[in-house]
Chains A and B, each alone.
Chain A
Amino acid sequence: MIPFFVNAKSKYEEKAEKYKTYWQKLIPTYSKLQFAGSMGLLSAGIGWDYGKRNQWETDLLIGYVPRYSSSAKATFTVKQNFMPWKFNLGKNISMEPLACGLYINTVLDEDFWVKEPDRYPKGYYNFSTKIRSNIFAGQRFTYNMSSDKYSFAKAVTLFYELSSSDLYIISAFGNNYLKPKDYIHLSLGVKLQIL
């Protein structure tokens, strides 16, 4: 009776372990904080890095736009990052000379629509006020922290990005008046590598 019981439990434990490791993959490996970047004054979120050299990253970010001429807004962003290269600059410092990718930002506000409402003739505006696509390129510097000294994270990465959104790219196209400083924007951020 007893051995059977123990056996059954260990089989269960095995299954439970497996189950846990599957779900553990969903635990975000880092958190991020970004200033500006057409997705809020400040955006914060989580993400996962993956790939052979962890050269891919996917972020989920919530942004906040304070009240200016219109009401304050929250935004949500899905961001895909690609860092093809990584160099060591010193003992604990490394650099990614290029971090690029795209992100989709949506304004969580009822005055904005994904598709124009039915009251409009078909194809009246042909764009979404709610969903913005952005492209970016930038650089990153990472400091790998010794686990004896710091417990809050494994590494800290500082980064900057230059980005533009679909509306601005369309606007810039075919005229000389708008200059890169009008439609390319700078943002700054920090990433805390936790796992």
Chain B
Amino acid sequence: MVRTKTHLLILFFTLFFYSCDLFEYQPYDGRISGETGINAKNIKRIKQNTEGKTTIRFAMMGDSQRFYDETKDFVNHLNKRNDIDFVIHGGDLTDFGATKEFIWMRDIMNSLKVPYIALLGNHDCLGNGENIFEEIFGEENFSFMAGNTKFVCLNTNALEYDYSHPVPNFNFMKKEIQNVEPGQEKTVIAMHVKPYAEQFNNNSVELFEYYVNKFPKVQFCVNSHDHRLEVDEIFKDGITYYGSDDMKGRNYLLFTITPEGYNYEVVYY
């Protein structure tokens, strides 16, 4: 009898402490446990890993919202390779912008061996999503160096904001154009939504193109959002926009930037 009581007591306390993690205040409570500031940390890792390299290889994926199994498989697949420098998540980590969705996706992406950075997608802005994104990943507009190439990552989800918040942020682009990093020869521009999509501020597409062309040696642009593979020279100005499929499609774009140029392939997993 005493033993049964002890067992019950142990069971009760185990259940209780196990379930402390189970208390939820609200799906949009913004209560974050675990790692934050991921982009800044991984930008440092990418810079270190690619220092002095003239050939860099990265995977472009995105739209992983609610595709947990598929994203986990992507991570497992990528961890078997050892020829990739980093991964760009093109945004839409979440479907509803709920706090736990960010945490679940972060935990999956964090098991990548190579560093990754995440862009803000339009779904990530829902509710208070952009606050959670900022805390866990970082700024909506940012840039990083990989070898001799600067990657400029832009928030282009204009439909999620009103005019008090500039999207795309031309001041940021101008600053990035003027601020040439030591060793920067080339530029790649990454965004969630490409010009002329319904999310984009289409009153400013030509200005956007103007600024994109001001960057040193733009190789190409990458985007997500459309849930299908896309190769499109939107402005007929020699700059191609590559759109990644969603994670449900079980594929990603693999880009290799070489001294001679670049090439890309679609990898299914």
Contacts and interface: CB of A to CB of B under 8 A. Distances in A.
Contact of A69 (B30, B68, B126, B159): B30
A38 interface: yes
A187 interface: yes
Interface stretch (A2-10, A13-21, A47-55, A178-186): A178-186
A125 B69 contact: no
A31 B248 CA distance: 47
A171 B101 contact: yes
A133 B66 CA distance: 19
B131 A73 contact: no
A68 B29 contact: yes
A69 B131 contact: yes
Contact of B100 (A36, A63, A182): A182
Interface string B13-31: 0000011011111111111
Size range of the interface on A? Answer: 35 or more
A177 interface: yes
B25 A38 contact: yes
Given A37-B24, A65-B25, A119-B159, A70 B30 contact: yes
A120 to B, nearest CB: 7
Contacts of B230: none
A62 interface: no
Contact of A112 (B21, B28, B123): B28
Nearest to A71: B128
A90 interface: no
Nearest to B131: A70
Nearest to A164: B24
A132 interface: yes
A105 B98 CA distance: 15
B80 to A, nearest CB: 19
A175 B127 CA distance: 24
Most chain B Cβ neighbours within 10 Å, of A38, A120, A167, A181:
A167
Contact of A181 (B22, B95, B108): B22
Most chain A Cβ neighbours within 10 Å, of B18, B23, B28, B96:
B28
Most chain B Cβ neighbours within 10 Å, of A37, A39, A111, A112:
A111
B23 A171 contact: no
Nearest to A63: B26
A75 interface: yes
Nearest to B22: A186
B104 A182 contact: yes
B68 A175 contact: yes
B132 interface: yes
Interface in A135-185: 165, 167-168, 170-171, 175-178, 181-182, 184-185
A99 interface: no
B180 interface: no
B97 interface: yes
Given A177-B68, A178-B68, A181-B21, A69 B198 contact: no
Contacts of B21: 181
A111 B127 contact: yes
A109 B126 CA distance: 13
Interface in B99-127: 99-101, 104, 108, 123, 126-127
10 contacts: A40-B25, A65-B29, A68-B29, A68-B30, A68-B31, A69-B30, A69-B134, A73-B28, A121-B198, A125-B126
Interface of B: 18-19, 21-32, 66-69, 72, 95-101, 104, 108, 123, 126-128, 131-132, 134-135, 159, 198
